[in-house]
Amino acid sequence: MSGPVAVLMGGPSAEHDVSLVSGRAIAAALAGRGHAVTLWLITLDGTWWRVPSEPGGPLRPVAAYDDPAALGAEGPFTAPVALARLAGETPPPVVWIALHGPFGEDGTVQALCEAAGLVYTGSGVAASALGMDKHRFKQLARGLELPVVAWRSLEATAYRADPAGSLARLEAFATTLTDPRLMIKPNRLGSSVGMIIVRRPDEPPELEAALAEAFRYDDLVLAEAYLAGARELEVGVVGNGLADLAVFGPGEVFPGHEFYDYHAKYDPGVSRTTARPELDERARTTIREQAAAAYLAVGATGFGRVDFLLHGGRIYLSEINTIPGFTPISLFPLVWETGGGDFADLAERIVELAIARAAGRPRSHLTRADLP
């Protein structure tokens, strides 16, 4: 299979730069397999540009994409115009969504692709939105009796209306925990952006500062129990449903910082990972089963990464990422390789799953003859 593929990268998200690394790695891998690949950059302000490919040689610095016109990119286009161009190609390409965070991972760009009639990789609109929403994902997991870390959520409107009462409620929550420290994070964001450990929830200035940072990125914030020293385990899931589901891992992250923050994830040499951690077989099996259950519960398709914490002998389901990091050093491709495939195999398998999912669905554009 060597049909055309359009890789979307960048996006109006705090994870823009990470997406550039993922997108270019995917494009290079697919081009190496004979696909006609086009790169589409979505800037931080939401405009779309068709970027010249990088045939061979070193990749451009990420900062070079801040000025796509200087790269000779074609554009700018609005999203509808760019997608109409893609849909008008013969044959239309499979859209490989390599966007992380809001707009790219939350169902927005998936809905745009649906409206344009384009085949795209990964999960659909509903599964993407649910997977991106940490609060609602945790509610779903708890309803399925999957273990999650204790948490509370706080809306920006509620905080502005009653800041003292909101702080008091979070402080009271902290007193119910064995360790009163809290992890504050935006609800719909990844790459640990906006996450801060609050060591003294009973000290309002510290808690206020953490909330202010998280509210920069979202209007809903989570306060989770902080599990000091927890092992961070990640499972890769590939497939469109129970019939073709493949589960890989878990792999393990050894953060170079107190937790796996943005710089620990992406700065070279700070952290290390292993795709084959030391783990007893019972725990390994449980984690893989829970990863599959979470993936199927949200209705994910194509691929995803399900994250866990192991603390005090207990396993906690942390979150699902429907478009995990896809850089050459990301753990998701590495756990896939434990099954015998390589990075390019994985990128191509995801294209195959996108085509299969689209082929199995009813037509999205009906004629008068299709109506009852």
Neighbouring-strand partners of residue 246: 238
Co-location of 198 and 247 in the same domain? no
Do 11 and 114 share a domain, yes or no?
A: yes
Q: Indicate the residue among 178, 204, 225 that finishes a domain.
A: 225
Judge if 94 and 159 occupy the same domain. Answer: no
Helices (H), the chain: 16-32, 79-87, 108-116, 125-132, 134-143, 156-161, 163-175, 204-215, 262-266, 281-298, 331-337, 343-359
Shared-domain flag, residues 51 and 185: no
The predicted-structure confidence for 225-258, as pLDDT tens digits, reads as follows: 999 999 999 999 999 999 999 999 999 998 754 5
370 within some domain? no
Regarding whether 205 and 72 lie in a shared domain, the answer is: no
Asked if residue 136 and residue 262 are part of one domain, the reply reads yes
What are the angstrom distances between the C-alpha of 91 and each of 39, 222, 354?
Answer: 16, 44, 15
Please give the angle made by the CA atoms of 304, 194 and 126, to the nearest 5 degrees.
35
In a domain, 367, yes or no: no
Place of tokens 């990640």: 234
Phi and psi torsions of 313, nearest 5°: 80, 0
Q: What is the pLDDT of residue 15?
A: 87
Tens digit of pLDDT per residue, the chain (372 long)? 579 999 999 999 888 998 999 999 999 999 999 999 999 999 999 999 999 876 555 678 888 899 999 999 999 999 999 999 999 999 999 999 999 988 999 999 999 999 999 999 999 999 999 999 999 999 999 999 999 999 999 999 999 999 999 999 999 999 999 999 999 999 987 656 788 999 999 888 999 999 999 999 899 999 999 999 999 999 999 999 999 999 999 999 987 545 555 554 555 566 688 999 999 999 999 999 999 999 999 999 999 999 999 999 999 999 999 999 888 788 999 999 999 999 999 999 999 999 999 998 876 667 778 788
Same domain, yes or no, for 268 and 139? yes
Q: Tell me, what CATH number does 72's domain have?
A: 3.40.50.20
For the record, the structure tokens of 273 come out as 């990972």
Question: Do 140 and 264 lie in a common domain?
Answer: yes
Token pair 């599990």 is found at 227
**76 and 25 in a common domain:** yes
Is residue 366 in some structural domain?
A: no
The set of residues, in sequence order, having a beta carbon less than 8 Å from that of 71 and lying 6+ positions away, is 51, 52, 60, 64, 65
Residues 110 and 142 in one domain: no
Q: Is residue 354 part of a domain?
A: no
CA-nearest of 12, 21, 3, 2 to 324 is 21
Last residue of a domain, one of 159, 190, 225: 225
- Residue 50 within a domain: yes
Residue 361 is assigned to a structural domain of this protein: no
Which of 78, 12, 71 is CA-nearest to residue 45?
Answer: 12
In the block, residue with structure tokens 């995803």? 304
Q: How far apart are CA 43 and CA 20, in angstroms?
A: 10
Question: What's the domain count of the chain?
Answer: 3
Are 285 and 142 part of one and the same domain? Answer: yes
> pTM, whole model, 2 decimals?
0.91
Q: Which of 167, 190, 225 is the last residue of a domain?
A: 225
Q: Confirm if 279 and 302 have CB atoms less than 8 A apart.
A: no
CATH number at residue 165: 3.30.1490.20
| Residues written for the chain | 372
Q: Please report whether residue 219 resides in a domain.
A: yes
Looking at residue 47, its amino acid is T
Residue 35 lies in a domain: yes
Please give the structure tokens belonging to residue 144: 């399925």
Residue 268: give its domain's CATH number.
3.30.470.20
- Domain range for 220: 151-225
Instruction: Kindly state whether residues 26 and 88 are assigned to the same domain.
Output: yes
